[in-house]
Amino acid sequence: MTEIFGVPLPALLGQLLLGLVNGSFYAMLSLGLAVIFGMLNIINFAHGALYMMGAFLAWMGLEQLGLNYWVMLVLSPLVVGLFGLVIERLLLKWLYKLDHLYGLLLTFGITLVIEGIFRSFYGVSGQPYAVPEALSGATNLGFMILPNYRAWVVVASLVVCLGVWALIEKTSLGATLRAGTENPRLVQAFGVNVPRMITFTYAGGVALAAFAGVLAAPILQVNSLMGSNLIIVVFAVVVIGGMGSILGSILTGLGLGVVEGLTKVFYPEASNTVVFVVMALVLLVRPAGLFGKEK
């Protein structure tokens, strides 16, 4: 059997795939955070709780309403997006001109409320969610066995992430969004409803978190703490990539997932801390992050 640095090739590729899957979740969640921070200037600590809500809605849709995975992959982000719209209109819109700390504290409070509600109904034990039949099984590539669902997660995440990046960076709508955050009065003078645009931007950002939650449901057991277990790492990814950098969040999320997977092979003791070590090293050299803009 072929080995690389004493590690069997199938085991190494399996860990790389696992790292790429984790990196896909990091990329999608950090992308939503970057969109919200870049456009609204809010540090959305509630992102992890909304990711968990997306996964729970998928599970509830299947268990209580009989709605399959594909339906909930669309419906769950829409419901969470509408919930985010309510949060922005009722709470966040008062904080845009205040210090970042106020938004962080408010969204942290929202996190505690959401997690508390789900924990009171479902506890902290995981709820299983079956892989959809169309994506069950695995494909033998000759050098490794590739689980079909994990391959789907990577592909779906890449398509969504690159689609959002192209929408914001390469279209007139994206240019209007960026202009609306930098000079809202001027944009509003051209007839654009800036407050409504900001509201839908926040809703879209949290819908990305819910989409990631539905993708994660068949891989991870759905539980009320799944968001809080992930959000700290995702914040580290955003900081490394550069606060507000869309492309930086995508590339850093995928890259750190792969680094984390390789670390589990060659130095397992450091696998839980490698992201934070990388963050410390990056901030020492480039405080604005790898793709962030220096002020």
pLDDT of residue 179: 77
Strands (E), 79-231: 138-140, 145-147
> pTM score, two decimals?
0.90
Cα–Cα distances in angstroms (integers) from residue 226 to residues 146, 155, 174, in the given order = 25, 22, 31
- Alpha-carbon radius of gyration of the chain: 19
- Taking only the tens of pLDDT, the chain with its 295 residues reads 566 656 666 667 777 888 888 889 899 998 888 888 877 778 888 999 999 999 999 999 999 998 999 999 999 999 999 999 999 999 988 887 778 788 889 999 999 999 999 999 888 888 889 999 989 888 887 767 788 998 999 999 999 999 988 888 888 887 887 777 667 777 778 777 877 888 888 999 999 999 999 999 999 889 988 888 788 888 888 888 887 788 888 899 898 888 888 888 777 777 778 888 888 898 888 888 888 766 5
Q: To which residue do tokens 């992102």 refer?
A: 47
Count of residues in the chain = 295
